[in-house]
Amino acid sequence: MQAQHITTKVVGVGHKTVVSLDMGLYKPAKQLQMSRSHLDHLLLRPGELHIVMAQLRCIGAYVEGSGIDTSWLNQEYMAQSL
């Protein structure tokens, strides 16, 4: 309610309030929001840390087994031998 009050003061009535939450709080908060229609004015999102961790996990899964890590190591070895 405090975040909604700040949003109303800053940008006016009728705008959604964006709330970033840790993943441990995001999941139950999202479930609560989906079960109660009067909370539709909130825009819940995971915090930046969890977004970055998911991106890095995705990049790691893509690189793993592709051979690109071996290629990087070979390039480093070749650069050192010059």
| pLDDT digit string, tens, across residues 9-55 | 787 777 788 888 888 888 999 999 999 988 888 888 888 888 898 89
Per-residue model confidence (pLDDT) at position 16: 81
pTM score > 0.75 for this model? no
Per-residue model confidence (pLDDT) at position 82: 64
- Which helix (H) or strand (E) covers residue 48, if one does? helix 48-63
Burial per residue of 3-24, b for 16 or more beta-carbon CB atoms within 10 angstroms, e otherwise: eeeebeeeeeeeeebebebeee
Distance CA 42, CA 36 (A): 11
Helix/strand/coil for 40: coil
